[in-house]
Structure 1
Amino acid sequence: MIRPGFLSPAERRELVSCVRSQREDHGIARRANAILLLDDGKSCHAIAEFLYLDDDTIRGWYKTYREAGWDALSFDGWKGGQSRMTADQEAALCDWLKDRFCRSTVEIMAHISEKFGLRCSHSGCIKLLARLGFEYRKPKALPRVASTEKQASFITMYQSLLAELGADEAVYFADAVHPEYQTKPAYGWVKTGSHPAVTTTAGRGRVNIHGAVNLETFDAPFVEPTTVDGVSATQLLAKIEERNPDKRLIHVIWDNAAYHKGPDVREFLARPECRIHLIQLRPYCPHLNPIERLWAVMHQHVTHNRHYPNQKQFANAILKFFRKTIPNEWKSFRDQVSDNFRVIN
Structure 2
Amino acid sequence: MAVAAVGRGASCNAAARDLGCATSTVVSAVRRYREAGRGALRDRREGNGQRKVDERFRERLTRVLQRTPEDWGWCRPTWTRELLCLELERRGLPQVSVATMGRALTSLGARRKAARPIVQCPWPAWKRRRRLYELKCLHAHKPPEEPVLHVDEVDIHLNPKVGHDWCLPGQRRVVVTPGNNQKRFLAGALNVRTGKLTWVEGKSKASDLFIQLLWHLAGEYRRARRIHLVLDNAAVHTSQKTRKALAQLGGRIVLHFLPPYCPQGNRIERVWLDLHANVTRNHRCRTMDQLMVRVHAYLAARNAQRSASPCLRRADLRRTA
Q: Please state which band the TM-score falls in when normalised by the shorter chain.
A: 0.5 to 0.7
Corresponding residue number in structure 1 for 2:244: 267
CA shift for structure 1 position 295: 0.4
Matching residue within 219, 225, 233 for 1:256: 233
DSSP 3-state at the match of 2:173: coil
When residues 209 and 140 of structure 1 are mapped into structure 2, their CA distance, relative to the original with a 3 A threshold, is closer
Is 1:286 the counterpart of 2:267? The answer is: no
Q: Check whether the contact 2:302–2:308 (CA below 8 A) recurs between aligned residues.
A: no
When residues 272 and 206 of structure 1 are mapped into structure 2, their CA distance, relative to the original with a 3 A threshold, is closer
Is 1:201 the counterpart of 2:177? The answer is: yes
Is 1:245 the counterpart of 2:222? The answer is: yes
Corresponding residue number in structure 2 for 1:217: 194
Is 1:144 the counterpart of 2:119? The answer is: yes
Q: Check whether the contact 2:207–2:239 (CA below 8 A) recurs between aligned residues.
A: yes
* Structural RMSD (CA): 4.1
Corresponding residue number in structure 1 for 2:50: none
After superposition, give the CA deviation of every residue in 1:248-295 in whole Å (9 maximum; x if it has no partner): 011001110111001111112223633101001110101111111100
DSSP 3-state at the match of 1:208: strand
When structure 1 is superposed on structure 2, of 309-318 and 291-300 the one drifting more is 309-318
TM-score (norm 1): 0.54
AA aligned to 1:292 is E
CA shift for structure 1 position 312: 2.3
CA shift for structure 1 position 142: 4.3
DSSP 3-state at the match of 1:295: helix
Is 1:181 the counterpart of 2:195? The answer is: no
AA aligned to 1:201 is T
Q: Check whether the contact 2:184–2:204 (CA below 8 A) recurs between aligned residues.
A: no
Q: Check whether the contact 1:308–1:314 (CA below 8 A) recurs between aligned residues.
A: yes
CA distance in 1, matches of 2:289, 2:202: 15
Q: Check whether the contact 1:212–1:291 (CA below 8 A) recurs between aligned residues.
A: yes
CA distance in 1, matches of 2:286, 2:210: 31
CA distance in 2, matches of 1:333, 1:312: 23
Q: Check whether the contact 1:250–1:277 (CA below 8 A) recurs between aligned residues.
A: yes
When residues 260 and 272 of structure 1 are mapped into structure 2, their CA distance, relative to the original with a 3 A threshold, is closer
CA distance in 1, matches of 2:293, 2:144: 36
Q: Spell out the pairing of 1:113-128 with structure 2 (5 A cutoff).
A: none
DSSP 3-state at the match of 1:251: strand
Bigger Rg, structure 1 or 2: 1
When residues 167 and 328 of structure 1 are mapped into structure 2, their CA distance, relative to the original with a 3 A threshold, is closer
Percent identical pairs in the alignment equals 26
CA distance in 2, matches of 1:210, 1:159: 22
Q: Check whether the contact 1:144–1:284 (CA below 8 A) recurs between aligned residues.
A: yes
Q: Check whether the contact 1:201–1:308 (CA below 8 A) recurs between aligned residues.
A: no
CA distance in 1, matches of 2:259, 2:269: 15
DSSP 3-state at the match of 2:184: coil
Corresponding residue number in structure 1 for 2:304: 328
Is 1:234 the counterpart of 2:211? The answer is: yes
Q: Check whether the contact 1:268–1:274 (CA below 8 A) recurs between aligned residues.
A: no
Is 1:307 the counterpart of 2:274? The answer is: no
AA aligned to 2:283 is R
CA distance in 2, matches of 1:245, 1:304: 36
DSSP 3-state at the match of 1:270: helix
CA distance in 2, matches of 1:282, 1:276: 19
When residues 142 and 326 of structure 1 are mapped into structure 2, their CA distance, relative to the original with a 3 A threshold, is closer
Q: Check whether the contact 2:158–2:183 (CA below 8 A) recurs between aligned residues.
A: yes
When residues 141 and 187 of structure 1 are mapped into structure 2, their CA distance, relative to the original with a 3 A threshold, is closer
Q: Spell out the pairing of 1:54-93 with structure 2 (5 A cutoff).
A: none
CA distance in 1, matches of 2:131, 2:190: 18
When residues 196 and 328 of structure 1 are mapped into structure 2, their CA distance, relative to the original with a 3 A threshold, is farther
AA aligned to 1:255 is D
Q: Check whether the contact 2:285–2:291 (CA below 8 A) recurs between aligned residues.
A: yes
CA distance in 2, matches of 1:240, 1:179: 22
For structure 2, the 5+ residue unaligned runs are: 1-30, 32-72, 77-85, 87-113, 310-321
When residues 190 and 151 of structure 1 are mapped into structure 2, their CA distance, relative to the original with a 3 A threshold, is farther
After superposition, give the CA deviation of every residue in 1:277-330 in whole Å (9 maximum; x if it has no partner): 1001110101111111100111121122321122321122223223x222222x
When residues 201 and 272 of structure 1 are mapped into structure 2, their CA distance, relative to the original with a 3 A threshold, is closer
AA aligned to 1:144 is V
For structure 1, the 5+ residue unaligned runs are: 1-35, 37-97, 102-130, 132-138, 335-345
When residues 222 and 271 of structure 1 are mapped into structure 2, their CA distance, relative to the original with a 3 A threshold, is same
